[in-house]
Amino acid sequence: MTTHIREGGICPLVGWQDDFYAYLRALSGRLNQIKVRSKCQAHEVILADARSVDFGSRRFQSMLTSPPYPNHRDFTSILLPENTLVSALSEADGFDFSFVREKIIGSNFVARLDIRSPKSYVASRFIEEALSLRRNKRAEYDDEVYYIPYLKHYFSSLEEAYSNIARFADTVFEGYVVVVNNTHRGIVIPLSEVVQEIWQSLGFRVEVFQERELFHVGAKNPRAKGIRARHTEYVVRIWR
């Protein structure tokens, strides 16, 4: 699992079994508390692509979500444990849930993809800023064949997903999107601002409900220093 590859810092694998069982006990206890107050005992899990899923005549009044982050790594490998669980359930119960790994939002496969340009003004401005940076020939080549196509595809897919999901939001609706602004070549990727812009363009009211700074020195990238090690987490509130 790529997120557990560390050089320096405290190894998160020490005692992970105890942490996992503590998490399961806490989750079980919380679910039992909710069950007592819940007005509905029937729940449904839908495995689908947010860019194309169709809920028919059904509408929802609340949402809690967090998009894949544009971190230049294959998002499907980060979710390898979850994908393995889904595959195991599929084999055990016989339901069919197939997905194309290269097309998942956040995947870093850019070859043979139809790269679109995002409609978002903030995303487009960020891409222009990234292209205007002074870089050596190698960096220019990497941006041309990978990083910029990756970012364009990422933001366009996010726009497509939110536009589709917004169709099924009820007239009374409140949602929260947790996002982290990381960096590319020393400049901040304005994911929070892009998310806000997209939902505002869809007719929703938006505000930053909460924000906090995160630092990752000695964690996933031990070479990260300064702004590269500083990530800001935002909780964006959406309602109408």
pLDDT at 223: 57
- Tell the residue number behind the tokens 């300064």, with chain if given: 226
145 SS3 class: helix
Q: Confirm if 180 and 233 have CB atoms less than 8 A apart.
A: yes
Residue 169 and residue 157: Cα distance in Å, rounded? 19
What's the CA gap between 162 and 204, in Å, rounded? 11
CA 205, 210, 212, 214 dihedral sign is negative
Q: Burial code of 11-48, b = ≥16 C-beta within 10 A, e = fewer?
A: eeeeeeeeeeeeeeeeeeeeeeeeeeeeeeeeeeeeee
Kindly give the parts of the chain with pLDDT less than 70.
1-13, 71-74, 97-99, 215-230
| Residue 236 and residue 192 in contact, taking contact as beta carbons nearer than 8 Å | yes
Q: From the CB of residue 210, how many other CB atoms can be counted at a distance below 10 Å?
A: 11
Q: Half-sphere exposure of residue 95, counting CA atoms within 13 Å on the CB side?
A: 11
Nearest residue to 175 (alpha-carbon basis) of 227, 218, 93, 239:
239
Residue type, 39: K
Classify residue 217 by burial, with Cβ atoms within 10 Å: 0-12, 13-18, 19+: middle
Check: CB of residue 218 under 8 Å from CB of residue 10: no
Q: What is the pTM of this model?
A: 0.80
CA distance 191 to 164: 19
Q: Which two tokens stand for residue 23?
A: 């998490």
- What backbone torsions phi and psi does residue 130 show, to the nearest 5 degrees? -65, -40
Residue 8 is predicted with a pLDDT of 47
How far, in Å, CA of 124 to CA of 154, rounded? 12
Residue 10 sits at the vertex; the CA angle it makes with 234 and 216, to the nearest 5 degrees, is: 30
What are the angstrom distances between the C-alpha of 76 and each of 32, 82, 108? 32, 9, 9
pLDDT value at residue 2: 45
**Token duo for residue 42:** 């029937």
Q: Model confidence over 225-235: pLDDT tens digits?
A: 555 666 788 99
* Beta strands 230-239; 169-181: pairing state: antiparallel
